[in-house]
Amino acid sequence: MKPIKILKVSAIIVMLLGSIHLAATPVAFALFSSTVKPDITSVYMFVMVGLAVLFAGGLQYYLVYKIGADKVFLRIYIGSVIFMAILGIGAVGTLTKNPFAYVSLFVAITEVIAVWSYSKRNTK
Amino acid sequence: MNTLKLISITSLIKGICFVVLGIVHCVVTFMPVEELIGPMPEKMASEFRVWFFGVGAFLLFIGLTDILSYKGLKTAFHWAWNFAFISALFCTLCGLAGVIVFREGPPFFIAFAGIFQIFPLILYRQHYNH
C-alpha cells in the first residue's frame, strides 16, 4: 500500500475518532456520574479534545491532496502526526481498558511510519 | 504597511502566543490536580490530566499551523487563507465555549485571538486567489 493511501485512510479514521469522542460525551459522563461527580472543567476538556482530534483529522485529509506541492504541507502534516502520537500515548497510559485508546495509538504509529516513508521517498 | 502583510503578521503573532500558551498548558498538567481545579477522585484525576494535556498540545499545534501559514498569507495563497480561517474559527468556538464555562482566564484570550483574526480574513478574502 502506498504511503499516501495509508495517510488518506488514517485521516478518515482520525476524523471518525474525533466524532466518536464528541458523540460519547454524554455517555462517558453518565458512566462517571455513577461513581464520581464530574465537574464542568472536565466536561470542557473532554469536548475540546474531541474537537481537536476532529480538527487534526480534517486538516490531515485536506493536506493529503496537497502534500507533494510544497514543503510547508508536509511540515504541518508532521505536526498533526506528532499531536496524534502525544494523544495516543497519553490515552494508552491512562485509559488502559478503553479500546479507542489503542486504536488512536495504532493510527498514530501508522501515520508516523507512512509520513517517514513518504518523506524518505520524496527527499531523495 | 499593506493589507496582506498586516494579516500575515496578525497570524504570526497569534501563532507565537498560542505556542507559548500551549507550552504553559502542557507544563501545568504536571502540577497536582488539586491546585488546578480543587479536590478530585483519583479515578478522574488521571483522565483529566490527559484531556488537559491534549488541549495544551492542540493549542501548540494550532500555533505552529499559524506560524507555518505566515509565508503563504503574505504571498496571498488560497490554502493559507483556508488554514488561517479554520484555525481562527476553531479558536473562536473553543474560546467562546470556555468563556461561557469559566467566565475568565485563558479561554477569553483564545476567543479574542480567534475573533481578532477572523474579521480581516473575511474582509480581505478576495486578495487570496493564488
The whole-angstrom separation of Cα A11 and Cα A25 is 22
Coil, strand, or helix at residue A10?
Answer: helix
B79 and A94 in contact by Cβ < 8 A?
no
The whole-angstrom separation of Cα A47 and Cα A24 is 9
Point out the least confidently predicted range of A66-75, B83-92, B96-105.
B96-105
Whether the CB-CB separation of A14 and A53 falls below 8 Å is answered with: yes
Per-residue pLDDT at A50 exceeds 90: no
Measured from the Cβ of residue A116, the count of other Cβ atoms closer than 10 Å reads 13
A6: closest CA of chain B, how far (Å) = 22
Q: ∠ CA(A81), CA(A84), CA(A87), 5° rounding?
A: 150
Instruction: Establish if B65 touches chain A: CB-CB under 8 angstroms.
Output: yes
Better pLDDT: B105 or A53: A53
ipTM for this prediction: 0.75
Looking at residues A26-54, what average pLDDT do you find?
A: 76
Residues of chain B positioned with their CB less than 8 A from the CB of A73: 79
The whole-angstrom separation of Cα A90 and Cα B23 is 16
A49 and B54 in contact by Cβ < 8 A?
yes
Q: Which residue has the cell 505566515?
A: B70
- What percent of chain A clears pLDDT 70, i.e. is strictly above it? 90
Point out the least confidently predicted range of A19-33, B16-30, B58-72.
A19-33
The whole-angstrom separation of Cα A37 and Cα A34 is 8
Phi and psi for A113 in degrees, rounded to 5? -65, -45
Q: Which three cell numbers stand for residue A100?
A: 479507542
Whether the CB-CB separation of B127 and B72 falls below 8 Å is answered with: no
Per-residue pLDDT at A16 exceeds 90: yes
Point out the least confidently predicted range of A33-37, A60-64, A104-108, B60-64.
A33-37
Looking at residues B46-65, what average pLDDT do you find?
A: 83
A2: closest CA of chain B, how far (Å) = 25
CA dihedral A115, A118, A119, A123 (to 10 degrees): 180
Instruction: Establish if B90 touches chain A: CB-CB under 8 angstroms.
Output: yes
Looking at residues A83-104, what average pLDDT do you find?
A: 85
Instruction: Establish if B15 touches chain A: CB-CB under 8 angstroms.
Output: no
The whole-angstrom separation of Cα B124 and Cα B91 is 19
Whether the CB-CB separation of A59 and A81 falls below 8 Å is answered with: no
Per-residue pLDDT at A23 exceeds 80: yes
